[in-house]
Amino acid sequence: MFNPCFLIPQPEDLLERLEGNELWDLEMDDRLRILQILCHRIMSSYSVQDYLNETQASVGMLWCVLQASTIQGLGGRCTLLL
């Protein structure tokens, strides 16, 4: 499976500085870089991906129901490709 986290460079010097200092003692750019790395790591986790897939499927079903109710009198059908 493709993991976008591997595309984000994780510089060793940043990790070394984090080992020797508190997060709030680092420069703003370093703190933002750490936050970016953590966000990408979380967004690429399986639980978040599963949640997004389930939510997308639910939205698709709701859209189908909405479309079916608006064209109910026309005999139209709504099918989902999941």
In a domain, 3, yes or no: no
Q: How many structural domains is the chain composed of? A: 2
Q: Choose the weakest-confidence range: 28-32, 51-55, 58-62, 76-80.
A: 76-80
Q: What is the mean pLDDT of residues 10-26?
A: 82
Do 55 and 81 fall within a single domain?
yes
pLDDT of residue 9: 55
Task: Compute and round to an integer the Cα radius of gyration of the chain.
Answer: 22
Does residue 82 carry a pLDDT above 50? no
- Say what the pLDDT of residue 1 is: 46
The parent domain of residue 20 ranges over 10-44
* Closest of 9, 51, 57 to residue 33, by C-alpha: 9
For residues 31 and 59, state if they share a domain: no
**CA end-to-end span of the chain, whole Å?**
19
CA distance 35 to 52: 21
Average pLDDT over residues 42-71: 86
- Residue 39: name the closest of 18, 8, 63 by CA: 8
